[in-house]
């Protein structure tokens, strides 16, 4: 008897097919057409092809004393319910990156979950909930706290257990270093040692790197690349898209203030505002104030209604258009010391927003 089996994976919210017997192509097309016709409307967006994905970034869970880096347990439960609603394709970070780099389509509303710093609440609170929901995630680990048994930090046993359960364990320096302030020797030491410690304890070499605080520079990126990493993440907001800098990819930070259900839904529904030729390209400013500018997407309508905002100065009103596709912004005041963010957004289809973000760092004098 010829038979095709078709089933739905709730854990990754993808349609998976498995064939048995002959005449697979014709019968599968017939079954696929019938199955899609029966899908609830909420499932439709998750099976459409797209070329972008959203990466969200957590730190702590249920640690109310740290509102800038934690979400409440209730917020986490709301996030999981939304991610399981059928409108999203929650996938391992490695799958999302592989598809983008190979030019393969992603499902619309593709989402990857990342967590920085290996706090104990990841194991106690988030891990059981993500595991039971079948949601894959990645933890970026600063190894010194784990090695020394620092209070509130997971152990290697915790991390191994999560890794064996499907979580990815990736690199985040040894000491949670302010990398943009460090010299090359220190950078190399921290990147190399953290990579070796994770490989030794987890049993597999990390593939991805995340800059602590999202702070990087051209020199920092070069050291990370020299260590063998081809993909690294900051903490600037925005979706991933094929033209993005693979050594400084964006993630949306999620915390108590920016973790409410409406905000969370807005973030995971964003589309890329595919700006190119962004200057300054160096995330650490060598000139302050900088001359900031970018080239609009080839499809100009994607940038209709564009607005840009600075974390200290608010909405930027002096957008100067040069030719058909170049936008430049001249700042009259220097950026403050530390981290500044620029976000540019534009209305997208079906109530969604297009988003581009950049973080700049100004070293202390």
d(CA 221, CA 223): 5
Cα dihedral value 261, 264, 266, 271, nearest 10:
-160
Return the CATH number at 318.
2.60.40
Is 56 a member of any domain?
Answer: yes
How large is the average pLDDT for residues 179-193?
Answer: 98
Q: Is the pLDDT score of 29 beyond 70?
A: no
The residue range of the domain holding 153 is 49-270
Is 334 a member of any domain?
Answer: yes
pTM, full prediction: 0.87
**219 and 353 in one domain?**
no
Under the banding of pLDDT at 50, 70 and 90, the label for residue 321 is very high
Query: How large a percentage of the chain has pLDDT more than 90?
Result: 84
Query: How large a percentage of the chain has pLDDT more than 70?
Result: 87
Is 44 a member of any domain?
Answer: no
CB burial readout 70-91, b (16+ within 10 A) else e: bbbbebbebbbebbbebbbbbb
Q: Answer whether 169's CB lies under 8 Å from 198's CB.
A: yes
Domain boundary among 270, 296, 318: 270
Q: How many domains, the chain?
A: 3
Which residues, other chains included, contact 210 with Cβ-Cβ below 8 Å and sequence gap of 6+? Answer: 114, 116, 140, 170, 171, 172, 232, 233, 234
**308 and 229 in one domain?**
no
Q: Is the pLDDT score of 46 beyond 80?
A: no
Q: Is the pLDDT score of 17 beyond 60?
A: no
**211 and 149 in one domain?**
yes
Return the minimum-mean-pLDDT range out of 2-16, 182-196, 270-284: 2-16
How large is the average pLDDT for residues 26-34?
Answer: 35
pLDDT in tens, 225-275: 999 999 999 999 999 999 999 999 999 999 999 999 999 999 999 999 999
Return the CATH number at 183.
3.20.20.370
**168 and 232 in one domain?**
yes
Strands lying side by side in the sheet with 276-279: 276-279, 291-295, 326-330, 319-322
**245 and 340 in one domain?**
no
3-state secondary structure of 100: helix
Is 352 a member of any domain?
Answer: yes
**208 and 127 in one domain?**
yes
Task: Using the structure block, give the residue that is written with the tokens 């987890």.
Answer: 202
Is 208 a member of any domain?
Answer: yes
DSSP state of 72: -
**140 and 32 in one domain?**
no
**146 and 224 in one domain?**
yes
Which pLDDT value is given to residue 83?
Answer: 98
d(CA 63, CA 91): 26
Under the banding of pLDDT at 50, 70 and 90, the label for residue 301 is confident
Task: Tell me the H-state helices in 237-334.
Answer: 261-268
**140 and 23 in one domain?**
no
Which pLDDT value is given to residue 100?
Answer: 96
**133 and 107 in one domain?**
yes
Which pLDDT value is given to residue 48?
Answer: 62
Q: Answer whether 54's CB lies under 8 Å from 268's CB.
A: yes
**341 and 259 in one domain?**
no
**7 and 118 in one domain?**
no
DSSP state of 58: E
Is 43 a member of any domain?
Answer: no
Which pLDDT value is given to residue 42?
Answer: 35
């Amino acid at each position: 008897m010829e038979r095709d089996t078709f089933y739905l994976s709730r854990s990754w919210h993808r349609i998976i097919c498995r064939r048995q017997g002959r005449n697979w192509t014709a019968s599968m097309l017939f079954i696929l057409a019938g199955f899609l016709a029966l899908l609830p409307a909420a499932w439709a967006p998750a099976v459409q092809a797209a070329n972008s994905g959203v990466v969200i970034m957590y730190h702590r869970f249920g640690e109310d004393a740290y509102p800038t880096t934690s979400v409440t347990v209730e917020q986490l439960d709301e996030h999981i319910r939304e991610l399981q609603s059928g409108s999203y394709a929650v996938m391992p970070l490695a799958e999302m990156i592989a598809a983008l780099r190979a030019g393969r389509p992603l499902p619309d509303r593709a989402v990857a979950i990342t967590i920085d710093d290996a706090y104990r609440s990841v194991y106690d609170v988030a891990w059981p909930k993500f595991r039971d929901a079948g949601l894959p995630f990645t933890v970026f680990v600063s190894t010194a706290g784990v090695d020394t048994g620092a209070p509130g930090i997971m152990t290697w046993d915790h991390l191994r257990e999560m890794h064996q359960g499907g979580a990815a364990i990736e690199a985040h320096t040894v000491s949670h270093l302010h990398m943009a302030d460090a010299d090359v020797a220190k950078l190399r030491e921290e990147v190399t040692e953290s990579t070796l410690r994770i490989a030794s304890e987890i049993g597999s070499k990390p593939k991805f790197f995340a800059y602590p605080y999202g702070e990087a520079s051209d020199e920092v990126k070069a050291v990370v690349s020299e260590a063998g990493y081809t993909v690294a993440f900051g903490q600037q907001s925005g979706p991933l898209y094929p033209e993005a800098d693979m050594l400084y990819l964006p993630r949306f930070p999620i915390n108590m203030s920016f973790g409410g259900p409406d905000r969370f839904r807005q973030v995971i529904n964003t589309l890329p505002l595919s700006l190119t030729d962004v200057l300054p390209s160096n995330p650490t400013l060598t000139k302050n104030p900088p001359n900031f500018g970018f080239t609009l997407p080839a499809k100009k309508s994607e940038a209709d209604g564009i607005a840009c905002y600075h974390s200290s100065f608010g909405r930027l009103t002096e957008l100067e258009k040069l030719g058909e596709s170049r936008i430049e912004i001249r700042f009259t005041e220097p950026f403050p010391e530390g981290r500044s963010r620029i976000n540019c957004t534009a209305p997208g289809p079906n109530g969604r927003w297009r988003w581009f973000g950049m973080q700049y760092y100004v070293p202390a004098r």
